[in-house]
Amino acid sequence: MRFLALLLLTAGAASAGEYALLANGARMHVDRHEVEGTTVKLYNETGYIEMPAALVSRFEAEDPPVAPPQPAPAVKESAPVPVVNPSGMADAAADKYGLPRELVRDVMAAESGFQMNALSPKGAIGLMQLMPETAQLLGADPYDPAQNVDAGVRYLRDLLTRYDGALWHALAAYNAGPGAVDKYHSVPPYRETINYVARIERAMNAGEKSAPADSEPHR
């Protein structure tokens, strides 16, 4: 009987069940057991073994199978935060409204020095230095950089159309307001406006970006 028990121990069924710990120190895997008086029946898939219950010290539940490690969940990459690029917005708006990119960049440089949060002493706002009332007429939020640029370039395009493509007139009107240009039928004799127009023209001719302006637009 002991030999048979050891033989079954080495055969070791792989099915779930329990372990019988024998008095001689052996450990036998069985499906289940039944105690009948002084005997015990140890069942496996082929039948059962009957032996004196005194030969079995105790029974232990079979350890549950260890689950294979699960792969770590894939880390979902967050969408990149869009980078606000003033020059890129200037180019996009220039293309949208049919204006030279260099002109729009030079106006933006003269107005705000490409500073999105620029605010003039007279209240002009953002990259294209829109006055609140002008932004309202254009249906734009001047504090939103994209809307500010789009509206400012659209306004510049409208001024060029108004003055039949005369660049100096359009730039002067952007700086001092159309009323001043209409009054003098040319660039108004304001030092600030004259310097503003000349600075942008020089920058365009040199193919360089203007330095930030000290202008205080009157839209």
Q: In the numeric block, which tokens belong to residue 149?
A: 């640029």
Catalytic annotation, pick one of 34, 45, 111, 216: 111
At CA 96, angle to CA 91 and CA 100, rounded to 5? 50
* CA–CA distance, 206 with 63 (Å, rounded to integer): 83
Which DSSP string corresponds to 6-25? Answer: HHHHHH---SS-EEEEETTS
At residue 44, the 3 state secondary structure works out as strand
Write down the pLDDT at residue 78.
Answer: 64
CATH 2.30.30 placement within the chain: 2-61
pTM: 0.59
* CA–CA distance, 174 with 160 (Å, rounded to integer): 10
Amino acid at 210: S
Q: Considering the domain delimited by 2-61, tell me its CATH architecture.
A: Roll (2.30)
For residue range 174-214, list pLDDT tens digits in order.
999 999 999 999 999 999 999 999 999 999 998 754 444 44
Specify whether 201 is catalytic: no
Query: What confidence tier does 35 reach under pLDDT thresholds 50, 70, 90?
Result: confident
CATH 1.10.530.10 placement within the chain: 86-206
User: How far, rounded to the nearest angstrom, does the alpha carbon of residue 185 sit from its chain's CA centroid?
Assistant: 50
Write down the pLDDT at residue 105.
Answer: 97
Write down the pLDDT at residue 22.
Answer: 80
CA dihedral 86, 88, 94, 95 (to 10 degrees): -160
Provide the terminal-to-terminal Cα distance of the chain, rounded to the nearest Å: 109
Tell me what the mean pLDDT of segment 98-122 comes to: 96
What fold, for 86-206? Lysozyme (1.10.530)
Q: Which range (12-21, 32-41, 67-76, 174-183) has the least confidence?
A: 12-21
* CA–CA distance, 142 with 151 (Å, rounded to integer): 8
Q: What are phi and psi of 58, to 5 degrees?
A: -170, 175
Evaluate whether 40 touches 53 at the Cβ level (below 8 Å). yes
Write down the pLDDT at residue 64.
Answer: 61
Write down the pLDDT at residue 67.
Answer: 67
Evaluate whether 110 touches 210 at the Cβ level (below 8 Å). yes
The mean of the pLDDT values for the chain is 84
Write down the pLDDT at residue 16.
Answer: 61
